[in-house]
Amino acid sequence: MRRVVVTGLGLLSPFGMGFEHSWKELLSGRSAARRVTEFEVDDLACKIAH
């Protein structure tokens, strides 16, 4: 059996990186969903992403 060592924890969410920042945004009631603007979405059924 191989051993695993966890050396740290982190959080990456649609709100950004870091637990405190993500938790604060989540508690504020804000949504991380945004309209896609980085590329053309005219042919796609969904135009919103997290």
Q: So what's the pLDDT on residue 16?
A: 86
Q: So what's the pLDDT on residue 10?
A: 87
Q: So what's the pLDDT on residue 4?
A: 93
pTM: 0.54
Q: So what's the pLDDT on residue 43?
A: 93
Domain parsing of the chain, residue ranges: 12-49
Q: So what's the pLDDT on residue 28?
A: 96
> pLDDT tens across 2-41, in order?
999 988 888 888 888 999 999 999 999 988 888 888 899 8
Question: Could you tell me the CA-to-CA distances from 14 to 7, 24, 28, 36, 44 in Å, in that order?
Answer: 24, 13, 14, 13, 21
